[in-house]
Amino acid sequence: MIPEPINLAEKLASFSDHWNPRIVARYNGNEVRLAKAGGEFTWHSHAGSDELFLVLSGDFAIEFRDGVAHLAPGEMIVVPRGTEHRPVANGECHLLVIDREGEPNTGGSPSAYTRERLETI
């Protein structure tokens, strides 16, 4: 069986809401998620797993309690498990995020942005 390529642009064009990631692939117990972001997310952390952010487009940053990491398109960052952080998008940003399978998008800090179940597209 030959795996089907995943066209990220087509997947991103299929939705418009912000801070509602969609699963586009799974591998080795991880979920590859696509998200559109705008404005400030909520402060949160993931106690049991790291979280990878790859900026596909837009002006994106992740705030930490002791500083800010600014990311340009094509740049990525891995937020270590247990590290409190807040993603911030200046305008609309497109992101690829890798989280452990089933990991809530707000980690252990439920908020209005928490998605109980992520859609697979």
In our burial notation (b when 16+ CB lie closer than 10 A, e otherwise), range 28-61 reads eeebbbbbbbeeebbbbbbeebebbbbbbbbebb
List the helix and strand counts (H, then E) for the chain.
Answer: 1, 6
Q: What was the pLDDT predicted at 121?
A: 97
Q: Return the pLDDT at 110.
A: 87
Residue pair 30/101 in contact (Cβ under 8 Å)? The answer is yes
Residues 73-121 have pLDDT tens digits of 999 999 999 999 999 999 999 999 999 999 989 888 889 899 988 999 9
Strand partners, 101: none
Instruction: Report the sign of the C-alpha dihedral through residues 99, 44, 72, 16, in that order.
Output: positive
pLDDT higher than threshold 90 for residue 25: yes
pLDDT of residue 13 exceeding 90: yes
Q: Domain locations in the chain?
A: 21-100
- Give the pLDDT score at 108: 86
Range 11-26 burial, b when 16+ CB lie within 10 A, else e? bbeeeeeebbbbbbbe
Q: From the CA atom positions of the chain, what is the Rg in Å? A: 14
The CATH number of 21-100, from 2.60.40.420, 1.10.645.10, 2.60.120.10, 1.10.3720.10, is 2.60.120.10
pLDDT of residue 116: 83
Per-residue pLDDT reduced to its tens digit, 28-77:
999 999 999 999 999 999 999 999 999 999 999 999 999 999 999 999 99
